[in-house]
Amino acid sequence: MVFSFLKGQFIDVIEWTDSSRDTMVYRFERYGNEIKYGAKLTVREGQMAVFVHEGQLADVFEPGMYMLETNNMPIMTSLQHWDHGFSSPFKSEIYFVNMRRFTGLKWGTQNPVMLRDPEFGPLRLRAFGSYAVRVQDAATFLREIVGTDGDFTQEKIAGQIRNIVVQKVSRVLAASGIPALDMAANTKDLSDVVSQAIAPTLAEYGLAMPELYIENISLPPEVEKVLDQRTSMGIVGDLNKFTQFSAAQAMAKAAEGGDSGMGAGLGAGMGMGMGMGMAQAMGQAMGQTTAGGHAAPPPPPPPVSETMWHIADNGQTRGPIPQSALAGQITRDSLVWREGQSGWLKAGDLPELARLFAAMPPPPPPAG
C-alpha cells in the first residue's frame, strides 16, 4: 500500500495504490480521521472512493482527481449543514473499492449432482470450472458485505460466491434434460443459463459475475469404466473379423519367434498351424455364402426322434413300430413295451398312448 500524505494532524493528499492483487476494499488510514478542507483526493482507474461520515454512506467518487470542497461533496455538505465553505477539518472514513475483475476463481461440486438421464436413467455427475467477479455497486457492496472491515480481500467472500455457483449449477444440470454424453457440447449454453440465474443474487451484494465457465462434467469412475467397455465394443465392430485379424497378427508374431534352430522351426510350425486354422475358419465362413455373395439359408433342423414300440400278441412280439403308426394295431388291453420301460404294460395304462383310444368306441356288449 502506498500513501502520500503530509506528516502531522492534517492530510493533504488521499490516494491508494494496490499491490496485493486480491484486496477488494481498503480503508484509508489517517490520524484522527481528520480531513483538511481542500485536500486532494486521487481515485485511479478501476477504483471508487466512498466517504462514510458518522456511520452513514456519503459521497462516492469515480476515477479522477478532486479538491475536497463543498461543491463536489453535496451529501457531506447536507449532513454537516455546510451552507458556505468551511475552514476547519472534518472527520470521515474513506474506503477505496477495487472495481476491477478478480479472475481465475475456482468452483466445483463437492457432492455429486443427482439427475435422471434420458439414456442411462438415474445418474450422478460432478462438475467444476472457474469464474470472475467484480464490484458493480461500491456503496451496496460496502453496506451489505464489507461493513467496517478495513482490509477486505476476495478470499473473504469467495466461499459464499462458490456456494451460490454450485447451487445454481446443480439445479441447471438436473433440470436441463440434456443427456450426459451431450453435456460437453453444451457447456457454453449451460454456463450462460447459470450466469443469468446467479445475477439477481449477486446484485443484492453489489457484485456482478462477468465470466463463468463449466470446464468439465464427469461421470462416476465405475460408470466411466463401463462406458469405456461399451466404446471398445463399438470400435471392435464385427467380432468374427476382429478375431480373424487378431489371429493373423498372432500368426505373424509366432513366425518371427526365432531366427534359427528350434526357435525358427517352432515359430514356423505355429505359424503353419494357425494359418491352417485361419484357412479352415475362412473356408467355413465362405461356404456359408452363395455364389452371388448372398447368405445361404441355414440347413433344416434334424427330425424329431419318435418313440418306437413293441407289441406282444399270442406269445409273439412285433416291432419296433413308431408311435404314429400304432393306431388301429393295438387296443387298451394290448401289451406294449418301449426302451426304458421296466416290463410289458397294457397300452391303456400308459399316459403317452391314452390319446390313441380317446375316439375309439367301447367294446361291444356280450351276445344274447
Q: Do residues 154 and 126 touch, judged by C-beta distance below 8 A?
A: no
362, part of any domain: no
Reported as a pLDDT band with limits 50, 70 and 90, residue 42 is very high
Whether pLDDT at 270 is above 60: no
285, part of any domain: no
- Look up the CATH number of the domain holding residue 212: 3.30.479.30
Whether pLDDT at 345 is above 60: yes
For the question of whether the overall pTM of this predicted structure is more than 0.85, the answer is no
Continuous segment of H or E residues that includes residue 325: none
The pLDDT of residue 238 is: 64
Same domain (yes/no): 20, 37: yes
Same domain (yes/no): 202, 123: yes
Same domain (yes/no): 141, 164: yes
Same domain (yes/no): 29, 122: no
For the segment 137-191, what is each residue's pLDDT rounded down to a tens digit? 999 999 999 988 888 999 999 999 999 999 999 999 888 888 888 888 899 999 9
Same domain (yes/no): 107, 216: yes
Q: Please calculate the CA angle 142-148-154 and round it to the nearest 5 degrees.
A: 60
Q: Do residues 214 and 127 touch, judged by C-beta distance below 8 A?
A: yes
286, part of any domain: no
Same domain (yes/no): 116, 90: no
The pLDDT of residue 223 is: 80
Q: Which residue has the higher pLDDT, 227 or 208?
A: 208
Domain carrying residue 190: 102-223
Domain boundary among 171, 204, 223: 223
65, part of any domain: yes
Same domain (yes/no): 39, 145: no
- Using a 10 angstrom Cβ sphere, with 0-12 exposed, 13-18 middle and 19 or more buried, the burial of residue 165 is buried
The pLDDT of residue 148 is: 82
The pLDDT of residue 162 is: 93
Same domain (yes/no): 167, 78: no
Same domain (yes/no): 17, 83: yes
Q: Do residues 152 and 146 touch, judged by C-beta distance below 8 A?
A: yes
Reported as a pLDDT band with limits 50, 70 and 90, residue 6 is very low
Whether pLDDT at 22 is above 70: yes
Residue 221: closest CA among 109, 126, 130, 116? 126
> Whole-number mean pLDDT of the chain?
79
259, part of any domain: no
Q: Which residue has the higher pLDDT, 104 or 246?
A: 104
- Look up the CATH number of the domain holding residue 343: 3.30.1490
**Of the given ranges (66-70, 94-98, 171-175, 253-257), which has the lowest mean pLDDT?**
253-257
Domain boundary among 176, 199, 223: 223
Q: Say what angle helices 187-204 and 155-176 make with each other, to 10 degrees.
A: 130
**Of the given ranges (39-48, 155-164, 177-186, 321-330), which has the lowest mean pLDDT?**
321-330
Same domain (yes/no): 93, 108: no
CA–CA separation, 368 and 36 (whole Å):
152
368, part of any domain: no
Task: Give CA torsion, residues 315, 319, 322, 323, to 10 deg.
Answer: 10
**Residues with Cβ within 8 Å of residue 251, at least 6 apart in sequence:** 270, 271, 274, 275, 278
Same domain (yes/no): 107, 81: no
Domain boundary among 76, 98, 120: 98
The pLDDT of residue 212 is: 94
**Of the given ranges (33-37, 144-148, 164-168, 224-228), which has the lowest mean pLDDT?**
33-37
The pLDDT of residue 90 is: 75
Q: Do residues 102 and 154 touch, judged by C-beta distance below 8 A?
A: yes
Q: Helix, strand, coil proportions of the chain in percent (round to 5)? A: 40, 30, 30
325, part of any domain: yes
Whether pLDDT at 87 is above 80: no
For the segment 188-223, what is each residue's pLDDT rounded down to a tens digit? 999 999 999 999 999 999 999 999 999 988 888 888
The pLDDT of residue 7 is: 41
Same domain (yes/no): 113, 218: yes
% of the chain with per-residue pLDDT over 90: 28
For the segment 97-128, what is each residue's pLDDT rounded down to a tens digit? 999 999 999 999 988 888 888 888 888 899 99
Q: Do residues 127 and 218 touch, judged by C-beta distance below 8 A?
A: yes
The pLDDT of residue 2 is: 40
Reported as a pLDDT band with limits 50, 70 and 90, residue 275 is low
- Which cell is 274 given? 494357425
289, part of any domain: no
Q: How many domains does the chain contain in total?
A: 3
